[in-house]
Structure 1
């Protein structure tokens, strides 16, 4: 196919700044509207029309330069081209769908195929309760590649890769490596006598059967998928893979086989050239389980063709005579075909990315004065006027030159602005100017003769190009345009309420910086907006945060010290190894005795049964000698040790102990009781807190020994609820949660925790903006909770969160 030659079109576009005739016509129309009664001569000889024509010509020059391709407008500025995100950078994303997750796993060396299955809604049994299976849990089923035997490290590699792309409020409960179920075939295959190499034909036949039983997933180059008719956005949808691209349509067809049909196998065999007939086809796996029509597979395994057994069971005939087969030659041909057809091959970057060329420097700012285009008799061009002319004539020429210089300056500045287009739309260049001027000295002949002061002229050019409130506002508008291209907006509420004495320029500049930071991070926060954090890695790493956390932080313009926490409830789900529920974690336990420990600096607390761990903090009460807060130093067969010497003659009989170690679930699933107060009703206590309880509701109280347990609400006020238990002034605070055993606390839920007494978070307007931003940015299928904690509680929560991250990292 011949390419169309590049030529200059014969017809100039009408109704365009590229058309000189259109501009001249529009100019004359404007003259007629503004000065129709006094200016009636619109012919070429009229000086005003001559001026109009020269300006129209200059504007067409500007329009042609604006019509350059974008890479030429950016010129050879490499930094500007880097801001044009490539297709792979901006169109790809982290794994979102099940297909995406399958691709990620199949891309791992040693994995032939993979399937993601939702956990069935059976019950998961914890140590003390039955909990319905939360939504968002998956099992990953892996079929190994026959060419690679790396099972030892494969599970770790797969888990690592999955956690790197785990979606918010989703997790992988189990990863299963399927064993092989060897399938052998029996029967007779008639082959034409015209085949050139029967051993190569049989190898092709066996390979075709194997691919039917366990199909390979093909990886494509970018060009191969484009040649198949795929759109660019379709090709780059989903995660970037090491080995190329997988066709979604093909992957969806690769479902797990549960049965093998003899008719399908016969079709595959008959598709091989020179195969004449297939007779008495038998499908077997065990010793006596042969089937002639449908063979049902073991769903815990993946089918694979037993090549050696099949070669022993199959007969190959040529013209009715049994052919003698060299098994070693067939196996050699088969292995060669398998190696040749292997699809997991690393591609070079050019095969996975769309390249673009850097533009040319078109010298767009170069300006040629309109005055040089005027006829010589005007006396304003490079020739000037003869010395013999009168001073009046020379003065008239200078007057015209001064008048036209006004237009020259506007046009020259516009050319300069076009040349600096990359600065106007840049989100990395720290030059915030939006006006770009250029001097006409050396461009307009005799300009020095009409300037009052050359120094004042240069000062004017500098001042117009300086950073002002207007220029910053214009820069913000340019950034808004870039954000809008990604369907993004950026609110001025990000700055919070202006502080007294705050400079307006600083506010605008801060807004520009926040928008630029957002755009610089956009490929990451766009691709990972639904991605959770990788809990197998330390959470202290600046890069190991969920995409949503990064996105919200940038949308809020948060500085390094303005921290917050996001917790996925699913990661708090009960496990079979969990020893405590929300109700039992703070439960008061009786210490039956105290005795001297082997370490003389410690005392052993005797508790027959307990679930305490080394390092936990506890509070001991009702014992004058040991009352107080202690850290458990070690666990013994009969109890635990605390770091305090045994007191001979002290009170060494019973006491009570209770955890005070903060636990993240209790901060998120329960509410604080700020104080307890005696009720006018004898034997009742008021629990002071903000609540939405009704009379008759059941609540569970924890962290306040005498009040711990389940209670019925007997009375309520706006700021408290009443329970039927005598007031005890020893306990000042605790936590409560409404008792509702049917409530799902873990599925598709997120909690955000902010310190309400820190920095801009103290501003009620900013708090409202924070909550709106969190809800706007969180994926719509997730339920969001926002918690504002005071200084003491945020300190406890921070410790609980750190413990949670350490604990989950060990799963």
Structure 2
């Protein structure tokens, strides 16, 4: 008789956490070891063993919850997992912005449905002293073919503009795309004989032949669904390697073929013989061609086969004519359109659009934090369960029960906290703002319980039977205003208020026992470091720089905030790892000092926070440096304000490079520059300072207690800004300043000096409100010429004077205000070197320049004019001015 596997259960030992007997045995062994000869009666009737058994039962419940599926542990009361702030979807974190030419092709095929084929050809220039040796110049020619041959010129122009904008929107540092060019048709006439089966339909064969030849000339990319590719053996990272796709993944081997650059008779004959209805092909050749059995196709062309006049279709020993097959010019064109639709449909199955992304895991809510006291399961004779004592029980009996309850309450609190810790597992490994922890619904106006960081969680024991007398401060609310209330109602209301107040003595003491703020911050920092490591980031490489120039409290608290901001943006930062700005963006930049530059336009960080009821003339620099609530940092609002976005409503990467975003987050230079601009603006609004500005002598000082800033005049042309109160002796001895302000020799009167201060403040504000703290200039963009749409096959004249032009072209300049002391210091240089090694593309050079105020003013002015100008002579003139100011080769001369 064959054994039925479903008729018995295999006795598998329980895990230790679920095995009551083993837990009890190990506990008794520990007791024996601790007690020695003092106590040897471990029988089940002993009250101590009864307590031990109850604790072991509670531990099995905790063990059961700990072994629940992780998706159940993370599922909230609403039945969903809070993915935001904890996890990224695979299609968001495994994909990257285009890097290779194939990546760009995939993106265009996915976003522009009318594209039949698109190809990118890297461009090269000859080295100056080696004309025969050509190297890449970071530029790409773009060739496109559309599905429908009857597209109007206006429609084609719109599609080309869409592709051009898409490419520059996703452009990487050091890259440049010439305007897309429509592939021309290179006519190829076929001649020969095609033999058909007796029952073959000539029109159908012609349709299939048209389809095969179009695919042979420019194969259509093959889209697949995620499940299809996974079933075929591809891993998730292999499927999603490249840009995020919305209409199916082009990831299967051979799914994105190249353009046919040579056609041969042998290959075409092989394809024809595989068609249904075709029995043989004879004497196939290219009509009017002297190149033999193969023809090369130009880079900017597609093979366009003509065969109706050259191929003879033979069926039943009779030569078929177009009239016999009812094919004319119009019907032939219709066959072509139908063929294109069929090819597009075959290349993108239903699964490609329906099964694009894998489903997110879902769990079942288990209410893990709910805790039932072990006192509720004791035998009634112990008198500690609900309603276990009579109302007339003697005092000594009540006292004995309370003594036992107090003893057990310690175990209850430990167990309840463990369940709470498990329930908050998602919060421990979250990089979002800490969720406010409410012990009970709070009274109106009461403050919720919360802290900067929480890594040990706890919960109250208000549901333990008759627990009120055992909790500290339980009489705090035992008062009444209405003397007509009976004592029982007064006691009930007092107990209710006690539970609703989150800072009662019991809860406050419990939180103090759990962890101190310093310990919590250290542990929180370690959790965030672990999360960064799981995403491929070494937090130790950033620790020092995170708190060097920005502050959200102590250095440790600053690191916690910056790491949290970094983690919440890491999906976009990693996706756009090498992304550059979209230099063809329609955004019009403003010049420094423009009145339209308002605090709401701060690129980074969020604008200063005004008081609750600001007046119309409220000065922006008096706002809080960061959002606060009741004097504490409001992390939720801060994280909301610093979250990058790239969608239809907002694109934070349109005008800046990803590298600039990283500098802003990790170094906090925009925050520092904003503070300096605020101090300058505050000084200029102080009448006493204006008096000193015009009358102050050399080696004189001005101190503003409201701004806690000092200004010292070290020479007739130079003032220096200091943090805090500085003595005259310290000024003369060269105290460390935060900023230098240089005035022209003529600018020695108060109005002139005031204008210089205003210009410095305006420039710093521009670096915050129009840029993320600095100005990144790609040299590549300054050499595109007056006609950037035309492909430049040869080296521009200005670069021919360079000893090695790739070192000039494949580079960028990062401009920072050299008059700010931290910018001129070595510490910033070290941090920039580290970030260059970690986040800057290795094939490009990054030149950090720290120009003085006047030079930086000229650079900013010309760069804004260059950005706002349309492609043409005006933009080229501004580019030449920038090259000259950067001491780079230009038409007017320059470095070689």
TM-score (norm 1): 0.69
Verify the 8 A CA contact 1:280 1:292 in the aligned structure 2: no
Cα RMSD (Å): 4.0
Verify the 8 A CA contact 1:261 1:293 in the aligned structure 2: yes
By how many angstroms is 1:763 displaced? Answer: 6.4
Matched, 1:445 2:556: no
By how many angstroms is 1:31 displaced? Answer: 3.5
Counting only pairs closer than 5 Å after superposition, residues 126-137 of structure 1 correspond to structure 2 as 135-137=137-139
By how many angstroms is 1:181 displaced? Answer: 1.1
Matched, 1:167 2:172: yes
Matched, 1:151 2:166: no
By how many angstroms is 1:401 displaced? Answer: 1.6
Verify the 8 A CA contact 1:134 1:747 in the aligned structure 2: no
Residue 519 of structure 2: which of 470, 479, 498 is its match?
470
**Whole-Å separation in 2 of the counterparts to 1:799 and 1:346:** 53
SS of the residue 1:526 aligns to = helix
Matched, 1:436 2:457: yes
Counting only pairs closer than 5 Å after superposition, residues 468-507 of structure 1 correspond to structure 2 as 468-490=517-539, 491-497=542-548, 506-507=554-555
Aligned to 2:782: 572
Verify the 8 A CA contact 1:200 1:333 in the aligned structure 2: no
Task: Give the number of the structure whose residues are more often helix, by fraction.
Answer: 2
The Cα offsets for residues 520-545 of structure 1, whole Å up to 9 and x where unpaired, read as 21211110011111110137585421
By how many angstroms is 1:804 displaced? Answer: 4.5
Aligned to 1:293: 293
Residue 849 of structure 2: which of 783, 787, 799 is its match?
787
Residue 314 of structure 2: which of 309, 312, 317 is its match?
317
By how many angstroms is 1:757 displaced? Answer: 4.2
By how many angstroms is 1:314 displaced? Answer: 1.8
By how many angstroms is 1:363 displaced? Answer: 2.0
**Whole-Å separation in 2 of the counterparts to 1:202 and 1:17:** 73
By how many angstroms is 1:312 displaced? Answer: 2.5
SS of the residue 1:315 aligns to = strand
Verify the 8 A CA contact 1:95 1:104 in the aligned structure 2: yes
Counting only pairs closer than 5 Å after superposition, residues 534-683 of structure 1 correspond to structure 2 as 534-537=582-585, 538=587, 540=589, 542-543=652-653, 544-560=655-671, 561=674, 563-573=773-783, 575=785
Aligned to 2:244: 240
By how many angstroms is 1:554 displaced? Answer: 1.6
By how many angstroms is 1:295 displaced? Answer: 3.2
Residue 341 of structure 1: which of 343, 349, 373 is its match?
343
By how many angstroms is 1:276 displaced? Answer: 1.3
Aligned pair in 2 of structure 1 residues 154, 335: CA closer, same or farther (>3 Å)? closer
**Whole-Å separation in 2 of the counterparts to 1:225 and 1:274:** 33
SS of the residue 2:249 aligns to = coil
Matched, 1:116 2:167: no
**Whole-Å separation in 2 of the counterparts to 1:557 and 1:425:** 25
Aligned to 2:195: 190
Verify the 8 A CA contact 2:148 2:340 in the aligned structure 1: no
Stretch of structure 1 that moved more, 526-535 or 265-274: 265-274
Which runs of no fewer than 5 residues in structure 1 stay unpaired? 579-664, 670-738
Matched, 1:91 2:94: yes
Residue 838 of structure 2: which of 776, 787, 793 is its match?
776
The Cα offsets for residues 404-450 of structure 1, whole Å up to 9 and x where unpaired, read as 10010111122223333343333333444334332212x22222243
Aligned pair in 2 of structure 1 residues 565, 23: CA closer, same or farther (>3 Å)? farther
Residue 512 of structure 1: which of 560, 563, 571 is its match?
560
TM-score (norm 2): 0.63
Verify the 8 A CA contact 1:165 1:531 in the aligned structure 2: yes
Aligned length: 634
Verify the 8 A CA contact 1:258 1:296 in the aligned structure 2: yes
Counting only pairs closer than 5 Å after superposition, residues 278-289 of structure 1 correspond to structure 2 as 278-284=281-287, 288-289=288-289
Stretch of structure 1 that moved more, 762-771 or 432-441: 762-771
Aligned pair in 2 of structure 1 residues 765, 327: CA closer, same or farther (>3 Å)? same
Larger radius of gyration: 1
By how many angstroms is 1:163 displaced? Answer: 0.5
Aligned to 2:494: none
Aligned to 1:620: none
**Whole-Å separation in 1 of the counterparts to 2:669 and 2:420:** 36
Verify the 8 A CA contact 2:192 2:284 in the aligned structure 1: yes
SS of the residue 1:135 aligns to = strand
**Whole-Å separation in 1 of the counterparts to 2:33 and 2:548:** 49
**Whole-Å separation in 1 of the counterparts to 2:836 and 2:530:** 23
Aligned to 2:758: none
Task: Give the number of the structure whose residues are more often strand, by fraction.
Answer: 1
